[in-house]
Chains A and B, each alone.
Chain A
Amino acid sequence: MSDSPTILEVEGLSKYFGGIKAIDNVDLDIRQGEIVALIGPNGAGKTTFFNCLTGIYKPTAGDIKLSDPRNGKSTRLNGKKPNKITEIGMARTFQNIRLFPTMSVLENVMIGRHCRTKSLIFGAITRNKATRIEEAQIIERSYEILKKVGLHRQVNEQARNLSYGAQRRLEIGRALATEPFLLLLDEPAAGMNPKETEALVALIREICAEGHSILLIEHDMKLVMTLSDRIFVMDYGKKIAQGTPVEVRENPAVIKAYLGEDVDA
């Protein structure tokens, strides 16, 4: 793994909200094919970190560099719009689920295909051959993805009628539809029962095996410890530790930050 190319390189990232230093000078890197976890107590700044990476917040300082392993092209993400970043190849899910509630499960994934397809006004009105083919492909690809995340039975349901766990999986499916090489998951197991979590672990492994790299925020330590190649730990906006699961588990700073929380559970 250590010889794989670095695909994400974050240097000195900071984000202040007024006086609050939500992120304070954090470095992080991910190599191709890795599953990396970002952990830390509530309010540590993990979600804010994702928001900065994906262009939803504008970082106060720092550098973010994303390199596409498929062609080796690297791009500085600072100041790029969220949709551009997704187009380059980094997609995400949201901690507080943000599906399109009244659209169907299939349509939610179809939206993910938007940035990989082209037809516009002319195609929409004339419905020419290229548009029809494109539309059929969108539906086909979306259905395949739904099968992968195990939602193909609910393809015509409204997204808001899905169970919590299913909504989280749909968010993953929607993100996969944008063909990312790096996938960011914000607390994907939150609200899931043990059985659902188990299925999620399998899904994440499968996605990773297909060549996607993954950065995930998670509170479920068992999941984090079994899945991750490396772990970054944040507290009060600062990175307090990084390393393999074993290293992190034994790090006194981490134990202190999690004092009262059972690290092994």
Chain B
Amino acid sequence: MFPVKELKRSALISLWFAFLTFPIMVIKVDPIERIVHWRWDNMFFIAFGSFVLSILAKVFMIQKERRASRKKRKIAAEPLIQRIAREPRFLYPLVVACFAFGVSFPFLFSTYQTNIMTTALMYVVLGLGLNIVVGVAGLLDLGYVAFYAVGAYSYALLNLNFDMGFWAVLPIGGLLAAFLGVILGFPVLRLRGDYLAIVTLGFGEIIRLVLENWNAFSQGPSGIANIPRPGFFGMEMTFAGGITYIYYIVLVLVVITIFVVNRLQNSRLGRAWLALREDEIACQAMGIDKTKTKLIAFSLGAFWAGFVGVLFAAKTTFVNPASFTFLESAIILSIVVLGGMGSIIGVIVGALILILLPEYLRALSEYRMLAFGAILVIMMVFKPEGIISNVRRSYKFKGTNTPEGEIHE
């Protein structure tokens, strides 16, 4: 079974972690009352936990190696989800079932649940938008939340100052965000990947800090309240009705987004994005305008964030800069990374898991951000392709004027 050598190694690891976490996990001081709490039980948990985890990680690694060697012998078994996603026979009924569930959700569950689901669906759209940028085109955008903020504040401010309605601002919010994406993207997209990540992070923080400090423009940290919910041909709506209404708007947006993202991925443009992710220099040598192609991905992603931003403002009826911190970008990034970069189904599943799980398991919600951080690390180390790796349809040549046998051999 498990070799003794490995057990010894795990024991050492657990000792190391007991030592490592000693000051922070065990000691807690109260500097005012001048009391020291020694929490030795924590040390035990850490030691035990790291022992078990190190064994699990080892087992996982061994299995992964075994699978890799099996793949070399060409019996690569495709995971179930992937097979389902590839087969229209299974995929279409599944999509229809999901859609039917989505449509009937507000009737089946309470307003409270509907509201939570709306949030989750908004993250689905955000994830799909960021997925174009990070997953498909390979541009790590850590300031995605800035475009989300632009959308939200567009609605808040245009409504406050010019009394503009939700439906009028919805496209404007998206376009403003996309415009900002172009303005920012133009100088920065020629930067190397990791620098791009940091520049976008800095940019996101600048936007937030400006919103926080420019009181005359954005009402500062206190934010803007009493933003109207979307109107429905001027009808008055109950609170619950309003929530259901927004739910459906978001649901429609989800469907549109999936449709558009799917089409984009399987197009001349989508091909260029993929190629750009694989080898920029070869791409340029093949005549692809790197900056232009990246700019399109970047501003399309921004467009979606702006769109959802408007919805966010309408849903919560309140915006302030605190909703648009770097952590928000990190959450959306976690969704994309967990789901599988470039994979539409993956991103949907990722968003639902990451947003719904902490909502329903209240005990977990405290550990939410801890888990998000851990997910980014664990996915990168163990499963960089995500839980549902990209099942992009590659162009299967079916041979119009050549006998079938000549191609498939």
Is A16's beta carbon under 8 Å from chain B? no
Given contacts A112-B286, A117-B268, A119-B269, 6 further A-B contacts (CB under 8 A): A56-B281, A83-B287, A86-B287, A91-B285, A114-B286, A120-B296
- What residues of B have a CB within 8 angstroms of the CB of A131 in the complex? 267
Q: A83-B290, A127-B263 are in contact. Are A100 and B268 (CB under 8 A)?
A: no
Stretch in A37-45, A149-157, A228-236 with 4+ CB within 8 Å of B: A149-157
Stretch in A101-109, A196-204, A214-222, A255-263 with 4+ CB within 8 Å of B: A101-109
Q: Is B394 touching A104 in the complex (CB atoms < 8 A)?
A: yes
Give chain B interface residues in 258-284, CB to chain A under 8 Å: 260, 263-264, 267-272, 274-275, 278-279, 281-284
Q: Is B296 touching A121 in the complex (CB atoms < 8 A)?
A: yes
Q: 9 closest Cβ contacts across the A-B interface?
A: A115-B287, A124-B267, A86-B287, A98-B282, A82-B284, A100-B278, A155-B397, A104-B394, A111-B275
Is A164's beta carbon under 8 Å from chain B? no
Minimum distance in angstroms from B259 CB to a CB of chain A: 8
Is A77's beta carbon under 8 Å from chain B? no
Minimum distance in angstroms from B289 CB to a CB of chain A: 5
15 contacts between A and B (CB under 8 A): A81-B284, A82-B281, A86-B287, A94-B285, A99-B282, A107-B271, A112-B287, A115-B286, A115-B288, A121-B269, A123-B267, A124-B269, A125-B263, A134-B268, A143-B399
Question: Closest residue to A109 on the B side, CB-wise?
Answer: B286
Q: Residues 83-102 of chain A: 1 if any B CB is under 8 Å from the residue's CB, otherwise 0?
A: 10011000110100011111
Contact of B285 among A86, A135, A140 (CB under 8 A): A86
- What residues of A have a CB within 8 angstroms of the CB of B402 in the complex? 152
Is B396's beta carbon under 8 Å from chain A? yes
Measured CA separation A100–B286 after assembly (Å):
11
Q: Is B264 touching A83 in the complex (CB atoms < 8 A)?
A: no
- What residues of B have a CB within 8 angstroms of the CB of A101 in the complex? 278
- What residues of A have a CB within 8 angstroms of the CB of B271 in the complex? 103, 107, 110-111, 114
Q: Residues 238-263 of chain B: 1 if any A CB is under 8 Å from the residue's CB, otherwise 0?
A: 00000000000000000000001001
- What residues of A have a CB within 8 angstroms of the CB of B296 in the complex? 120-121
- What residues of B have a CB within 8 angstroms of the CB of A82 in the complex? 281, 284-285
Q: A111-B288, A156-B396 are in contact. Are A103 and B275 (CB under 8 A)?
A: yes
Give chain A interface residues in 118-145, CB to chain B under 8 Å: 119-121, 123-125, 127, 131, 134-135, 138-140, 143
Question: Closest residue to B290 on the A side, CB-wise?
Answer: A83
Is A32's beta carbon under 8 Å from chain B? no
Q: Is B281 touching A114 in the complex (CB atoms < 8 A)?
A: no
- What residues of A have a CB within 8 angstroms of the CB of B394 in the complex? 103-104, 107, 156
Q: Is A106 touching B395 in the complex (CB atoms < 8 A)?
A: yes
Contact of B269 among A86, A110, A120, A177 (CB under 8 A): A120
Is A178's beta carbon under 8 Å from chain B? yes
- What residues of B have a CB within 8 angstroms of the CB of A167 in the complex? none
Q: Is B286 touching A111 in the complex (CB atoms < 8 A)?
A: yes
Measured CA separation A93–B274 after assembly (Å):
19
Is B407's beta carbon under 8 Å from chain A? yes
Is B152's beta carbon under 8 Å from chain A? no
Contact of B268 among A91, A103, A135 (CB under 8 A): A135
Measured CA separation A53–B382 after assembly (Å):
42
Is A213's beta carbon under 8 Å from chain B? no
Is B409's beta carbon under 8 Å from chain A? yes
How many of chain A's residues touch chain B, expressed as a range?
Answer: 35 or more
Measured CA separation A254–B394 after assembly (Å):
49
Q: Is B260 touching A125 in the complex (CB atoms < 8 A)?
A: yes
Measured CA separation A226–B37 after assembly (Å):
85
Is B406's beta carbon under 8 Å from chain A? yes
- What residues of B have a CB within 8 angstroms of the CB of A239 in the complex? none
Q: Is B260 touching A83 in the complex (CB atoms < 8 A)?
A: no
- What residues of B have a CB within 8 angstroms of the CB of A99 in the complex? 279, 282
Minimum distance in angstroms from A8 CB to a CB of chain B: 16
Minimum distance in angstroms from B228 CB to a CB of chain A: 31
Is A212's beta carbon under 8 Å from chain B? no
Give chain B interface residues in 283-303, CB to chain A under 8 Å: 283-290, 296, 300
Contact of A119 among B260, B268, B300, B397 (CB under 8 A): B268
Measured CA separation A94–B286 after assembly (Å):
11
Measured CA separation A124–B282 after assembly (Å):
23
Q: A100-B275, A100-B279, A102-B278 are in contact. Are A56 and B285 (CB under 8 A)?
A: yes
Q: Residues 99-137 of chain B: 1 if any A CB is under 8 Å from the residue's CB, otherwise 0?
A: 000000000000000000000000000000000000000
Minimum distance in angstroms from A49 CB to a CB of chain B: 15
Minimum distance in angstroms from A257 CB to a CB of chain B: 29
Measured CA separation A107–B278 after assembly (Å):
13
Measured CA separation A109–B88 after assembly (Å):
27
Is A54's beta carbon under 8 Å from chain B? yes
Q: Is B286 touching A174 in the complex (CB atoms < 8 A)?
A: yes
Measured CA separation A92–B268 after assembly (Å):
21
